[in-house]
Amino acid sequence: MVKLTPPMGWNSWNTFGENINEQMIFETADQLVDSGLAGKGYEYLVIDDCWSLKERGEDDRLVADPQKFPHGIKTVADYVHSKGLKFGMYSCAGNLTCAGYPGSFEHEFLDAETFASWGVDFLKYDYCYHSPIIHGKYLYRRMGLALQNCGRDILFSACSWGADQTHEWIKETGASMWRSTGDIFDTWESVKDLARQQEKLHPYNGVGCFNDMDMLIVGMHGKGNVGLAGCSDTQYKTHFSLWAFLGSPLMIGCDIRTMDEATLRILSNEEIIRINQDPACRQPVKLSGFCSDDNGLMYYRLLSNGDLALGIFNLGEHTIRPSINLDEMGLPLSTGKTLELHEVWTNERFTVTNATLSQTLEPFDCKIFRAKVVDR
């Protein structure tokens, strides 16, 4: 599959871990549609690790745990499809998955065939318990080739955590998205850490093979499988804005059946999603600007219609006031042009004067602008 914009959907791992079952999946599929999230672009519903029995069946095929999925995976996939959604599953390049279930090592073609027969549209492929003497690129090539020849269009989501210099070879495997980091946890420090790892990877993100910064923690509030300290709604807003602005796939990780209005509002922001899904998928550019605090991050992206997306992020606990010279974005005073800005969270609108943008940001907050080039 060639994916033209970052995939969007929901994954079971962050909240549920091993505590998954078909009824929960049915209810989540219902809620993706009923909440309007599916209409915003969240189309993949993905079951993560712990869905199978601990041993393969007599025919050497993976077997769904009958306690969790008494009607089988095909029935689950059919229900998800009946809601207009796409269905995803999980396996691993090792002998075992990360939670100790059978992996797909040396069963790649058999498992790809099995997934296709069940109606799978998306495969997250992890990197635990892999062979220590085979480089990761060969393991992901195997599954990529198997998926390309399984008879069904299945999105290949490679999850090797950036190991073995993943960014240098992952596109050759046929993967549509690739994890560049270790796991996210529901803390602000985790968000900051993953965001700061991205700068050197921006050139490796683009159409057909998207840099996956890991699943979203928006709305978890310390609950669930990776729930620790939790974050405030402001921090979740900034986390979502960063992931979207930097072009990461957007995979919801909270329990959307019980999410509050603030969570739905963050996940549903159409202008942020529009930036994430811009068809040009151009890489973000980190701006130098001026900020007395190194917790200030400033980025811009050139969008497909000539607009600019401008993101200013405060990762720290103190108020900051960063400034940006428009010359960094190709708009010195000599051009006679400036930017007309629309802040997509507050709907504030104004025009930049004197070729300089200065903004005050409260702790952990962000401002995301869609900007049009206009005459001064």
> 72-82 vs 108-118: helix axis angle to the nearest 10?
50
For residue 126, indicate whether it is catalytic.
yes
- The answer to whether 282 and 302 are in contact (CB under 8 A) is yes
| Residue 317, token pair as written in the block | 């606990």
For residue 375, indicate whether it is catalytic.
no
Calculate ∠ Cα 195-201-205, nearest 5°. 105
Place of tokens 């041993």: 55
Q: With the C-alpha atoms ordered 235, 237, 243, 245, is the resulting torsion angle positive or negative?
A: negative
> 233-245 vs 188-196: helix axis angle to the nearest 10?
20
- Write the CA distances from 138 to 39, 88, 109, 116, 159, integer angstroms: 37, 23, 14, 22, 14
CA Rg, the chain, in Å?
A: 21
From 183, 193, 233, 293, active-site residue: 183
From 48, 111, 121, 126, active-site residue: 126
Q: With the C-alpha atoms ordered 42, 44, 48, 51, is the resulting torsion angle positive or negative?
A: positive
CB count, 10 Å around CB of 99?
A: 17
**Which residues are the active-site residues?**
126, 183
